[in-house]
Amino acid sequence: MIGARLLGRTGWLAADPWMSGTTGWLNEYVSPSINVGRNDMATNLKTAIDALEAGEWERAHSIVQADCSQEAAWIHAHLHRIEGDRSNAEYWYNRADRPKNFGTLEEERAEIKRELSH
């Protein structure tokens, strides 16, 4: 996106100085998930897990792809691990700062659910 950048892992959007006064268009084009609070983020990620367990891989993927948190990156890695895309999964495990060899898919998903419930 021209004129905007994400700051670190916080997910807060900042307009470039030359774009001051143009936040209206930013609000129109930026995903609302970027500035959600911790509870909203956890709810979105729980929805992603629910979608995954309902067999809706694409929906789960869309949810986590719109979220820049480490928790979303972990679920993103888990999704790519499920589909057998090891290199993509490894990329997302690195973004999530998580180990790449977690155990079974079931064990990993149970751990994700535990962390999201805190």
Q: Which residues pair with 6 in a beta bridge?
A: 13
Instruction: Decide if domain 36-116 falls under CATH 3.30.70.
Output: no
Domain extents for the chain? 4-30, 36-116
Structure tokens at 30: 């930026």
Residue 53: how many CA atoms within 13 Å on its side-chain side? 11
pTM beyond 0.75: no
Cα(107)–Cα(84) distance, integer angstroms:
17
d(CA 55, CA 7): 34
Q: What is the tens place of the pLDDT at every residue in 42-91?
A: 789 999 999 999 999 999 999 999 999 999 999 999 999 999 999 999 99
pLDDT tens for each residue of 10-22: 444 444 444 444 4
